[in-house]
C-alpha cells in the first residue's frame, strides 16, 4: 500500500496501529514537513495509550494536532522533529520542531513550526516539548541564588528540570529517585543523587515529578518550613494520598501545581518564546542522556505497549522515520 503519509493511531486502549493518510497540498500559509524523529516518554503518552485520561480532563489534555477523541480511537503525540519540504523560502529545507503526532509527513500552519538551531541534532530536538515543561516549572518555582533544591523523580521531566537548575549559580541540586541507577543520569547532568531515604532535607524548594504518592510525601518531608513543593506529576486517573494531617499545616507548606498549558502570571513571555528558549537550551549535549533508545516508525505499535508496561525501560524513546 502507498499513501501520501502514514500515522500512528491508538485504535483502542493498549493497542495501536499505523494508518494511511491523504494530505493534499499545503496552502500559502502552511508547510509540508517530512518527519525525521518523534519522541515518546513513559509519562503522559503512555497514560493516553492505556486509556487512563479521566473524562474530566479530555478537553484539557488534547494535543494541538490530535485527531479523534479519548479514550480511542485517537491520534496523539507532541514531540515531532522534521524537515520542511514545501513552504516559504526561509523555512524550506530547514529542520523544525512541531507539537505534532507520530506521522511520516504532515501539513501544518507555518506559525506552528519552530526552527531547530543548527547546533541541536534533530534527534535531541524531540526533547523540546519536555524541556519546555521543565522551563515552565522553573518559572513557577522561582529559585534563588544559593537555594538548596531537591528534584524528586528522575524521569524525563524531573531530570530536565534538574539539568536546567544545575546552571543556576550557587544552587545545590539533588536528584532523588528510588532507582539507584539514575545516579548515572545525575552524574551526567552534573547534579547530586540520592535515594529517598538518603536525600538531604531542609530544602528551600522541592520539585516533584515521580507521579507517586510516596514521592509527593517524601517531597513534603524534604522541604523546609514555609517552603514550596512544585508538583509536576500528572497522575491520570490514579488517586493520590499524602499525610496532610501530620506536619503539613504546622510547617505552613505549599504545594503549587505547574502545567505547561499556562505561563505564570506576570512573566512577559509568549508560548513561542518559551519553546524557542527550550530549543536554545538543547544546545547543551548533556541532554543526550535522556535519549535512551531508538526504534523505527514501523515498530511503534509494538514499542508503545512495552513502554507502557515498563518492559522497555526508557526516559525518552526516539522513533526514527525512513529517509526517502
Domain boundaries, given as residue ranges, for the chain: 5-119+283-320, 132-257
Q: What is the residue-level pLDDT of the chain in tens, covering all 324 positions?
A: 346 999 999 999 999 999 999 998 999 999 999 999 999 977 789 999 999 999 998 998 899 999 999 999 999 999 999 999 999 999 999 999 999 999 999 999 999 999 999 999 999 999 999 999 999 999 999 999 999 999 999 999 999 999 999 999 999 999 999 999 999 999 999 999 999 999 999 999 999 999 999 999 999 999 999 999 999 998 888 889 999 988 899 999 999 999 887 888 778 789 999 999 999 999 999 999 999 999 999 999 999 999 999 999 899 999 999 986
CATH, range 132-257: 3.40.50.720
Instruction: Give bridge partners of residue 294 from the DSSP assignment.
Output: 318
Secondary structure percentages of the chain, helix, strand, coil, to 5 = 30, 30, 45
Fold equal for 5-119+283-320 and 132-257 = no
State the CATH class of domain 5-119+283-320: alpha beta
Q: Hey, what's the cell of 177?
A: 529517585
Note the pTM of the prediction, 2 decimals.
0.92
The count of other CB atoms within 10 Å of the CB of residue 159 is 29
Amino acid at each position: 500500500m502507498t499513501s501520501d503519509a502514514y500515522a500512528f493511531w491508538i485504535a483502542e486502549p493498549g493497542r495501536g496501529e499505523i494508518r494511511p493518510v491523504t494530505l493534499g497540498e499545503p496552502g500559502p500559509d502552511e508547510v509540508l514537513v517530512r518527519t525525521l524523529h518523534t519522541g515518546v516518554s513513559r509519562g503522559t503518552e503512555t497514560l493516553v495509550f492505556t486509556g487512563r485520561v479521566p473524562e474530566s480532563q479530555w478537553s484539557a489534555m488534547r494535543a494541538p494536532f490530535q485527531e479523534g477523541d479519548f479514550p480511542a480511537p485517537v491520534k496523539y503525540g507532541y514531540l515531532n522533529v522534521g524537515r520542511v519540504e514545501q513552504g516559504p523560502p526561509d523555512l524550506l529545507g530547514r529542520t523544525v520542531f512541531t507539537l505534532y503526532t507520530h506521522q511520516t509527513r504532515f501539513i501544518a500552519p507555518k506559525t506552528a513550526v519552530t526552527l531547530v538551531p543548527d547546533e541541536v541534532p534533530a534527534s535531541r530536538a524531540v526533547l523540546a516539548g519536555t524541556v519546555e515543561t521543565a522551563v515552565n516549572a522553573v518559572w513557577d518555582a522561582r529559585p534563588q541564588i544559593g537555594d538548596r533544591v531537591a528534584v524528586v523523580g528522575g524521569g524525563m521531566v524531573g531530570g530536565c528540570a534538574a539539568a536546567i537548575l544545575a546552571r543556576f549559580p550557587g544552587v545545590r541540586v539533588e536528584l532523588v529517585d528510588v532507582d539507584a541507577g539514575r545516579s548515572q543520569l545525575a552524574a551526567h547532568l552534573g547534579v547530586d543523587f540520592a535515594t529517598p531515604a538518603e536525600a538531604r532535607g531542609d530544602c528551600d524548594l522541592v520539585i516533584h515529578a515521580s507521579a507517586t504518592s510516596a514521592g509527593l510525601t517524601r517531597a513534603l518531608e524534604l522541604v523546609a518550613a514555609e517552603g514550596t513543593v512544585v508538583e509536576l506529576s500528572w497522575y491520570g486517573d490514579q488517586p493520590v494520598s499524602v499525610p496532610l494531617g501530620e506536619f503539613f499545616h504546622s510547617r505552613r507548606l505549599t504545594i503549587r501545581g505547574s502545567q505547561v498549558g499556562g505561563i505564570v502570571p506576570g512573566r512577559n513571555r509568549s508560548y513561542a518564546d518559551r519553546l524557542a528558549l527550550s530549543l536554545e537550551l538543547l544546545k547543551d549535549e548533556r541532554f543526550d542522556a535522556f535519549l535512551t533508545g531508538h526504534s523505527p516508525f514501523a515498530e511503534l505499535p509494538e514499542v508503545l505497549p512495552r513502554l507502557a508496561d515498563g518492559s522497555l525501560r526508557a526516559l525518552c524513546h526516539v522513533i526514527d522515520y525512513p529517509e526517502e
